[in-house]
Structure 1
Amino acid sequence: MFISPPFIFEIDLYREVLLFGDGGQSGKVGLWRVWVRFYFCSSGVSIFYVGREFWDERVQVCWEGGGTPLERGILRLASLFYALGLEARKETYRLGLKEASRLPAPVVSVGNITLGGTGKTPMVAWLAEGFRDRGLKVAIVSRGYGRKDEGRTLVVSRGRGPLVSPRQGGDEPLMLAKKLSGVMVVVAARRVEGARLAVEELGAELVLLDDGFQHWALNRDLDLVLVSGEEGLGNGRLFPAGPLREPLRALKRAHFLVVTKRENPSLRRLLASEAPQAEIFEAPMEGEKLWSPLGGELLPLGKLKGAKVGAFAGIADPCSFFALLEGYGAEVVEKVTFPDHHFYRRGDLEVLRGLIPRVDLVVTTEKDWVRLEGLDLGFSPWVLKVVIRPSPRLLDRVLERLGMEV
């Protein structure tokens, strides 16, 4: 590894918010992070990249059974306070101190019980397409993580493409708006307000609530909970001592459990024992094609076999993306990660340009392309399009449980 000038140094201080309430100031766990980036680039000779949140590595080590006794103790103590916050939040609704809203249209939530990527966005897109094709007017309601003004309720799409930019609406809602003709997309910090707007002003007959399993302010008719077949439930501990957003007993609220990414029989048995009331389905995820958004070309996935690939991603689970490329035979010689929902800057693009002489293909995700589109890249990335393939029976069962067999 060589280090060559010129170099760029940037510091970005931001607050990442983990939600377990209705989007108001209560019900948030705010974590300040420092994102320090050093870039050392030269034209086609070398690249050295360091960009890690200062605490993530040690936390991950503890989740995997390592770390010092002090580190593990601190995380477990913090998880107790987190658990108290969760329970206090639930009690405010159970005791009637706060009242959950109910809409005149059915609400279906797609959520998870763990941190990290489980495939919620592809699943939301799959369900929305299925409902739309059955003749229903569907609206997706999302918080719109990473957008510029997260407190604002905004119509991203009325079913005919995006009406706002990614910074205004968020990368995932914009991606859904681009993909889903005939499906409305709304973002709102208080999802109740967004869902009400979708039903009362846009005429939605069914609301899909993105990441709504921990959202107590809005009653749902059905809860679908996704669990990654790759990561499973981690060490089974509550955040921050582990990846669980709630204790496992919360799965008893779920109507459907969906094991995503790949089959995992042992995980399926565990879920069945923890939530015997839930119907369990599998939804493998796979690549569909390589797409060059700047050139318009399409390549079959067979082109990845034996190719030297530089891959980059700013998503919740970049390792799954890299593994998917390797599964199609790519030699991923450069892996560059950014925070989830990260908007790319000048220094980031310098790093990515430095990959070009060393690889055959530079590949990223659809979600990342939403944030890259319109920038002066100086290179042409390939986008790996990924699809989720649940059993069609899942859509039938959801409609049956809703009493909407259409």
Structure 2
Amino acid sequence: MSEHLRLLYTFGRPFSPFYSVAMSLRAAFYQKGLFKQQRLPVPVISVGNLTLGGTGKTPMVIYLARLLAARKPVIVSRGYGGRARERVNVVSDGRTICLTAPAAGDEPFFLAENLPGVPVLTSRNRVDGGRYAVEHLGAGAVILDDGFQHLGLWRDVNLALFKVDSFLGNNRVFPGGDMREPLKALERADCFVLTCVDEDNRKRAEAINRALNKRFAGIPVFMTGFRPLSLVTADGGEIALADGPASFFGFCGLANPHSFQRSLQLAGIKLDGFQVFRDHCRYFKPELDFLHKQSRGSAAQAYITSEKDLVKLQGRQLAKPLYALRMEVAAGEDFDRFVLEKLESAG
């Protein structure tokens, strides 16, 4: 945890009960119909989480978009950090990427690059985004990226994701902790998905599974991990893991950097150093100069980072060749069947 967050949670702890009550009342008003939920004429699947920070939502959205390809899905995202300010911003229409990464936001642009043929929209109001997807892009299904707290749009499948290593963080509601809402909010979920499960944390994942089953009986829990695929080059090329350099200096600007570092190691990547940058780092000259300084004494032949970071490094000049590790979600047939059957029953 960064020092900034540590201070925020320390001084924000007295205010957590007030925020918790406010979020509970908001959810209750939607449940009782005092706040209206809008419905779309196509199925909606929401990918979200209870905690702040990364839980693997973006890779899951990519996985679901491919799983639901026959339904002509459209992705609707909040567009965190993006400069585009229209009511609905078309990041990709399924044929052309229409916005740059700074305009779209890191995650939506990354989704557009990795999902040719799948439209990606950003909108502060997911209802507006969903309607645009149906009326202008012919969506047969809408995937909400980070939609668990956006209650204004009805969803047919509500996924709540947890990263195994962090789970509920410090178990306190913001601003005293990592949780966006009280634990009771998880009763809205149709299923729980534990992400980033590997052999090192499998026992912890199984313990979390048991705890969720005990507290939320009847809501299924699925475990997913990551499967390393290849190395992506700075110019968009792709090579096999075995054909890459012998050693790398790793770095990233992610919410859970050490999880990414472990993913590199589990993929067989030999690391001769690793540097953490702040989440959503834009990698301007000071950051690149610092990276060069930190890696100067390393025997690494190249840099390696995440695909999300690679998007923000396009056009940047580095002292060594740059690669990113391409991974995909590894989910079981039970999870696929659950999602498809839920959507089928929705129409």
TM-score (norm 2): 0.89
- Partner residue of 1:337 out of 276, 282, 306: 276
1:182 maps to what in 2? 117
**Following TM superposition, by how much is the alpha carbon of 1:123 offset from its aligned partner in structure 2, in angstroms?**
0.6
Q: How much does 1:303 deviate?
A: 5.8
What is the CA deviation profile of residues 363-382 of structure 1, one whole-angstrom value per residue up to 9, with x for unaligned ones? 11100111111334454211
Quick one: distance in 1 between partners of 2:55 and 2:238? 29
Aligned to 2:332: 391
Q: What is the match of residue 73 of structure 2? A: 138
What aligned pairs does 1:236-315 form with structure 2 within 5 A after superposition?
A: 236-262=171-197, 263=202, 264-294=205-235, 296=237, 298-300=239-241, 307=247, 309-315=248-254
Asked whether 1:80 is paired with 2:21, we answer no
Q: Which has the larger radius of gyration?
A: 1
- Going from structure 1 to structure 2, the CA distance change for 1:157 and 1:149 (only over 3 Å counts) comes to closer
Superposition deviation, residue 124 in structure 1: 0.7
State the Cα deviation string for residues 155-178 of structure 1 (Å, max 9, x = none): 111212421100111111111111
CA drift of 1:105 comes to 1.0
Describe the superposition over 1:173-192 as per-residue Cα deviations: whole angstroms up to 9, x where unpaired.
Answer: 11111111221111111111
Kept in 2, the 8 Å contact 1:302–1:328? The answer is no
Alpha-carbon distance between aligned partners in 1 of 2:32 and 2:337, rounded to the nearest angstrom: 36
CA shift for structure 1 position 304 = 7.6
Q: State which of 348, 361, 375 in structure 1 corresponds to 2:287.
A: 348
Q: Distance in 1 between matches of 2:240 and 2:317?
A: 23
Asked if the contact 1:141–1:208 (Cα under 8 Å) also holds between the matched residues in 2, the reply is: yes
Post-superposition shift, 1:125?
Answer: 0.5
Determine whether 1:374 maps to 2:318. no
Which amino acid in 1 is paired with 2:194? V
The structure 2 residue matched to 1:114, chosen from 47, 51, 72, is 51
Give ranges in structure 2 of 5+ residues lacking alignment.
none
Mark the runs of 5 or more structure 1 residues left unpaired by the alignment: 1-51, 63-70
Q: What is aligned with 1:10? A: none
* Equivalent residue number for residue 155 of structure 1: 90
Counterpart-to-counterpart distance in 2, 1:94 and 1:404? 22
Change (3 A) 1:188 1:395: same
Q: Give the corresponding residue for 2:158.
A: 223
User: Considering only aligned residues, what root-mean-square deviation do their CA atoms show, in Å?
Assistant: 2.5
Structure 1 counterpart SS, 2:161 = strand
Query: Using the alignment, how far apart are the partners of 2:267 and 2:306 within structure 1?
Result: 15
Shift of 1:403: 2.2
The superposition leaves residues 181-211 of structure 1 with CA deviations (integer Å, 9 ceiling, x where unpaired) of 2211111111111111001111101000011
* Equivalent residue number for residue 65 of structure 2: 128
Q: Size of the alignment, in residue pairs?
A: 339
Partners of 2:31 and 2:236 in 1: how far apart?
55
Label 1:121 to 1:295 Cα distance change in 2 as closer, same or farther (>3 A): closer
Deviation of 1:333 (Å)? 4.4
Q: What is the distance in 1 between the residues matched to 2:236 and 2:73?
A: 33
Deviation at 1:242, TM superposition (A): 2.8
* Partner SS state of residue 124, structure 2: coil
Distance 1:167 1:152, change over 3 A: farther
Give the TM-score taking structure 1 as reference length: 0.76
- Alpha carbons of 1:302 and 1:341: their partners in 2 closer, same or farther (altered >3 Å)? same
- C-alpha deviation, 1:57, in angstroms: 4.4
Give the direction of change, closer, same or farther, for the CA distance of 1:304–1:240 in structure 2 (3 Å limit): farther
**Structure (1 or 2) with the greater strand fraction:** 1
Distance in 1 (CA, whole Å) between partners of 2:141 and 2:236 is 37
Q: Report the Cα distance in structure 2 between the residues aligned to 1:247 and 1:144, rounded to whole angstroms.
A: 25
**Is 2:48–2:159's contact at 8 Å kept on the other side of the alignment?**
yes
Greater shift, 331-340 or 117-126, is seen at 331-340
Please tell me the residue identity of whatever aligns with 1:214: Q
Task: Tell me the secondary structure at the aligned position of residue 55 of structure 1.
Answer: helix
Over 3 Å counting, the alpha-carbon distance change for 1:339 and 1:195 in structure 2 is farther
Cα separation, partners in 2 of 1:330 and 1:182, compared to 1, 3 Å: closer
Give the one of 197, 200, 203 matched to 2:135.
200
1:105 is matched with 42
1:56 maps to a residue whose letter is L
Paired residue for 1:401, among 319, 335, 342? 342
Query: Counterpart of 1:352 in structure 2: which amino acid?
Result: L
1:399 positional shift? 1.8
8 Å Cα contact 1:228/1:261 also seen in 2: yes
Structure 1 residue 97 displacement after superposition: 4.4
Distance 1:203 1:276, change over 3 A: same
Q: Which one-letter code corresponds to 1:337 in the other structure?
A: V
Relative contact order (alpha carbons < 8 A, sep ≥ 6): 1 or 2 greater?
Answer: 2
Q: Percent identity?
A: 38
Q: Which has the higher helix share?
A: 2
